[in-house]
């Protein structure tokens, strides 16, 4: 099986360096806008170019997060960000909003698209919907069990990325509005204030009832490999570089068959320990925890030790070298990384007076690659007898060759086509339709308001077919916002049962449920859980076949107009 990618967070330059030097295969980072961690340091235009170049030269990929919801008046600025990311040579863009996905597809077709966990993809239906939208990878919701991950991964041909270490939210990503409601700081716009870490007390008196421990699946990596996971994602773009170093080192150790230092990992950051409750399916009170004074003290105790992990350049790029030392000819050195070849030369060698230069002398000089990302894997020396080359000459040849090779390893920019994106003005409906939503039919008889359509949960409709028939022409069946993998077949059966009853209208709050309902011929109405905040995204859903849309409640009245 293909090796699993270690994907590390890079909230700033120091975190990026820590990730690369500790052995990450890829990093994910944000620009100055449109990313779900606006409070991280992030990367400006110059910093982004430098970061991508640094990583490309060291065989590390860069995935850029443009994974927030977009307003109409931000579309042109978003295009500029996409162009910048493309020209810097990033390896992928992580997107939440379908408007972002469309812009990338049309303006930068060579750029791989990854579906952010903010899209709330949590079953095979969502993965298939993402695949049809052009995504080559999906970041699954954190709440899935190992069996669910395995079932999803084995039924798709696109890559599956899963979180394996870091913070857990109390709500599925993309479906949480607590921060927006309590303080106007939207998690879907990259401004989450983490109110779930506050001291909410439940009815049984348990404090910090919304605060989950950090997840850690480091001990379960072989099972995730067997499940078909392509990328192992470490959460933490708001964390210190020492945290990144500890997490990457632990994951790499586990993948290499060495015992990971879980004590060190827990010391640098935890909330009273770790949990694997979602992966194992053991959801209980032991999943909850908060950051205590003892946790903070433990972090301070390992800072220096962890900083030492990324002080030195990691020599991760193997190179081969060939040197020719011939009488009356320039000394030539050729180095290659398997793709790029560089040849440099110096003056001819001198006749040896006391001692001839040996192959061992040459190897000793050329193998001094410290301070570079290169490691000398092999050297072929063509050497005439009785000749001498000074150590300074060999060192200069090595430095010159490796500098030129580093230049050749710069990232290749991706093409960007400035395709105009039309923001359509929507004509108001001729008739305003009133829709009422009730949890069950018992409320309908008590209702005194006029309505055109009645939204009722699908299970309530199927359990009360007699009453449902009375309102059949007005009913819209509400499909569940979350449908776990084991319930997908049941959902399909429910949709088929609705069709047999003559109820064709459904309302969906998730792209996966919308996908399957459309496939069954239902008239699909988009619910606010689809998080539509702009006209381009609205047009994308319309193109998929969605009849109409309830825009996100996070849209102000002026934005809706």
> Can you give the residue ranges of every domain in the chain?
5-310, 317-408, 435-560
Whole-angstrom distance, CA of residue 198 vs CA of residue 185: 15
Using DSSP's 3-state secondary structure scheme, residue 468 falls into helix
Which pLDDT belongs to residue 91? Answer: 99
Using DSSP's 3-state secondary structure scheme, residue 112 falls into coil
Query: In whole numbers, what is the pLDDT of the chain averaged over residues?
Result: 94
Report the share of the chain in percent with pLDDT over 90.
Answer: 84
Q: Which has the closest alpha carbon to 248: 538, 531, 518, 22? A: 22
Q: Which has the closest alpha carbon to 106: 543, 500, 488? A: 543
The answer to whether 411 and 52 have CB atoms below 8 angstroms apart is yes
Q: What is the mean pLDDT of residues 342-352?
A: 96
Whole-angstrom distance, CA of residue 59 vs CA of residue 317: 7
Q: Which has the closest alpha carbon to 221: 245, 193, 254? A: 254
Which pLDDT belongs to residue 561? Answer: 59
Banded pLDDT at 559 (limits 50, 70, 90): low
Which pLDDT belongs to residue 175? Answer: 92
Cα→Cα distances 365→337, 370, 374, 407, Å: 18, 11, 14, 21
The answer to whether 396 and 367 have CB atoms below 8 angstroms apart is no
Other C-beta atoms lying within 10 Å of the C-beta of residue 265: 23
- Joined together, the tokens standing for residue 251 give 């994951």
Count the alpha carbons within 13 Å of 538 in the hemisphere toward its beta carbon: 17
Banded pLDDT at 184 (limits 50, 70, 90): confident
Q: Which of these ranges, 28-42, 156-170, 343-357, 466-480, has the smallest mean pLDDT?
A: 28-42
**Which CATH architecture group holds 5-310?**
Alpha-Beta Barrel (3.20)
Q: Residue 479: is its pLDDT beyond 70?
A: yes
Q: Which of these ranges, 244-248, 267-271, 322-326, 499-503, has the smallest mean pLDDT?
A: 267-271
- Joined together, the tokens standing for residue 161 give 């990325």
- Greater confidence (188 vs 59) lies with 59
Q: What is the mean pLDDT of residues 220-243?
A: 97
- Joined together, the tokens standing for residue 436 give 């009422």
Whole-angstrom distance, CA of residue 84 vs CA of residue 107: 12
Q: Which of these ranges, 88-102, 123-137, 465-479, has the smallest mean pLDDT?
A: 465-479
Phi then psi for 303, rounded to 5 degrees? -55, -50
Cα distance from N-terminal residue to C-terminal residue, the chain: 51
Residue 154: DSSP 8-state = T
Residue 424: DSSP 8-state = P
The answer to whether 350 and 357 have CB atoms below 8 angstroms apart is no
Please name the residues in contact with 320: beta carbons below 8 A apart, sequence gap of 6 or more: 335, 336, 338, 376, 377, 378, 379, 380
Please name the residues in contact with 439: beta carbons below 8 A apart, sequence gap of 6 or more: 457, 460
Q: Which has the closest alpha carbon to 513: 129, 107, 164, 170? A: 129
Cα→Cα distances 496→53, 493, 503, 516, Å: 53, 5, 10, 11
Which pLDDT belongs to residue 300? Answer: 87
Which pLDDT belongs to residue 323? Answer: 98
pLDDT in tens, 521-558: 999 999 999 999 999 999 999 999 999 999 998 876 55
Give the angle 136-141-143 at the CA atoms, nearest 5°: 150
Q: Residue 1: is its pLDDT beyond 60?
A: no
Which pLDDT belongs to residue 251? Answer: 98
Has this prediction a pTM greater than 0.85? yes
Please name the residues in contact with 542: beta carbons below 8 A apart, sequence gap of 6 or more: none
Whole-angstrom distance, CA of residue 215 vs CA of residue 211: 12
Whole-angstrom distance, CA of residue 549 vs CA of residue 547: 7
Whole-angstrom distance, CA of residue 387 vs CA of residue 136: 57
Q: Which of these ranges, 25-39, 46-60, 262-276, has the smallest mean pLDDT?
A: 25-39
Which pLDDT belongs to residue 558? Answer: 52
The answer to whether 330 and 346 have CB atoms below 8 angstroms apart is yes
Q: Residue 98: is its pLDDT beyond 70?
A: yes
């Amino acid at each position: 099986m293909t090796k699993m990618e270690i994907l590390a967070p890079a909230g700033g330059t120091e975190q990026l360096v820590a990730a690369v030097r500790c052995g990450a295969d890829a990093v994910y980072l944000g620009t100055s806008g449109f990313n779900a961690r606006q409070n991280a340091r992030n990367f400006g235009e110059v910093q982004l170019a430098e970061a991508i170049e640094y990583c490309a030269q060291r065989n590390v990929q860069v995935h850029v997060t443009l994974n927030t919801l977009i307003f109409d008046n931000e579309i042109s600025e978003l295009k500029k960000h996409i162009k910048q990311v493309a020209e810097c040579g990033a390896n992928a863009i992580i997107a939440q909003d379908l408007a972002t996905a469309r812009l990338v597809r049309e303006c930068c077709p060579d750029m791989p698209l990854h579906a952010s966990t903010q899209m709330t993809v949590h079953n095979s239906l969502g993965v298939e919907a993402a695949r049809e939208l052009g995504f080559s990878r999906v970041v699954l919701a954190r709440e899935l069990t190992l069996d669910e991950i395995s079932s999803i991964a084995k039924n798709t041909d696109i890559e599956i990325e899963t979180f394996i270490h870091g913070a857990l939210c109390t709500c599925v990503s993309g479906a949480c509005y607590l921060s927006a409601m309590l303080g106007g700081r939207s998690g879907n716009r990259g401004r989450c204030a983490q109110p779930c870490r506050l001291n909410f007390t439940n009815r049984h008196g348990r404090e910090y009832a919304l605060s989950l421990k950090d997840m850690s699946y480091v001990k379960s990596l072989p099972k995730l490999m067997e499940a078909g996971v392509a990328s192992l994602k470490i959460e933490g773009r708001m964390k210190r570089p020492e945290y990144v170093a500890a997490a990457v080192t632990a994951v790499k150790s586990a993948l290499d068959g060495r015992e990971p230092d879980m004590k060190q990992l827990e010391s640098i950051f935890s909330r009273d320990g770790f949990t694997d409750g979602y992966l194992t399916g053991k959801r209980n009170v032991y999943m909850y925890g908060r950051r205590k004074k003892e946790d903070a003290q433990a972090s301070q105790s390992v800072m220096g030790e962890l900083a030492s992990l990324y002080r030195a350049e990691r020599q991760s790029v193997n190179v081969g070298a060939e040197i020719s030392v011939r009488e009356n000819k320039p000394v030539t050195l050729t180095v290659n990384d398997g793709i790029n070849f560089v040849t440099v030369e110096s003056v001819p060698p001198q006749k040896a007076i006391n001692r001839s230069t040996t192959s061992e002398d040459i190897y000793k000089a050329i193998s001094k690659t410290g301070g570079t990302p290169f490691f000398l894997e092999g050297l072929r020396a063509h050497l005439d007898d009785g000749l001498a080359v000074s150590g300074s000459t060999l060192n200069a040849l090595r430095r010159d060759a490796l500098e030129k090779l580093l230049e050749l390893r710069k990232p290749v920019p991706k093409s960007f086509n400035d395709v105009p994106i039309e923001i359509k003005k929507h004509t108001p409906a001729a008739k305003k339709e009133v829709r009422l939503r009730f949890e069950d039919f018992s409320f309908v008889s008590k209702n005194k308001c006029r309505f055109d359509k009645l939204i009722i949960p699908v299970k309530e409709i199927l359990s009360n077919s007699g009453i449902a028939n009375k309102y059949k022409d007005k009913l819209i069946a509400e499909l569940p916002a979350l449908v776990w993998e084991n319930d997908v077949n049941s959902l399909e059966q429910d949709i088929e049962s609705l069709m047999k009853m003559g109820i064709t209208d459904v309302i969906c709050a998730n792209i996966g449920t919308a996908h399957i309902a459309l496939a069954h011929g239902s008239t699909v109405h988009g619910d606010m859980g689809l998080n539509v905040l702009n006209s381009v995204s609205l047009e994308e859903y319309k193109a998929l076949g969605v009849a109409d849309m309830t825009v996100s409640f996070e849209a102000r009245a002026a934005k809706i107009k």
